[in-house]
Amino acid sequence: MSVDATAIASVLGGSGILGRPIRDTRDLEDAVRTGIPKPALDRLITTIVPAERAGDSSVRLRNKIVPRATYQRVERFNLQVSETTERIARLYALALFAFQDSDAAARFMMHPHPELGDRTPFDTALTEVGGREVEEIIERGLHGLPA
């Protein structure tokens, strides 16, 4: 199961932040290739981190995706950072679809999970392989399959 490109774009702030309409996967891929803008990453982080834990937590999470110096220097990210940002947004959108609750989806992304060796889905998804692992857990939950 995959989530619609428009749902992923919405997590990243939609066309207002991405600077273009995202109607399908090709539009999303083009946005990633040309570089996800800095405000889209900010939007993703504030969506995942509860308001009461914002501040230092948000900065630490952001720095796991992009080095601080790079974040301060650029307005659009390179391909690697853009792909990681899109991957985490996609997994959050999938969790949101599964849980039908934004707080539950955010908790899922930010709390250690036993099937991930007690790593958080967010940390696991920093790599493509880890992202697939997180996706499998969400999909098994959607289909009611055991671990």
Q: What pLDDT, on a 0 to 100 scale, did the predictor assign at position 50?
A: 67
CA quadruple 44, 47, 49, 55: dihedral sign:
positive
Taking residue 121's Cβ as centre, other Cβ atoms within 10 Å add up to: 27
Query: For residues 147 and 141, what is the distance between their CA atoms, to the nearest angstrom?
Result: 9
Q: What pLDDT, on a 0 to 100 scale, did the predictor assign at position 56?
A: 65
Residues 18-59 pLDDT 10s? 999 999 999 999 999 999 999 999 999 999 986 546 666 889
Task: Indicate if the pLDDT at residue 135 is higher than 80.
Answer: yes
Residues 57-108 pLDDT 10s? 889 999 999 999 999 999 999 999 999 999 999 999 999 999 999 999 999 9
Nearest-5° angle of CA 105, CA 61, CA 45? 50
- Structural domain boundaries of the chain? 5-142
Q: What pLDDT, on a 0 to 100 scale, did the predictor assign at position 54?
A: 61
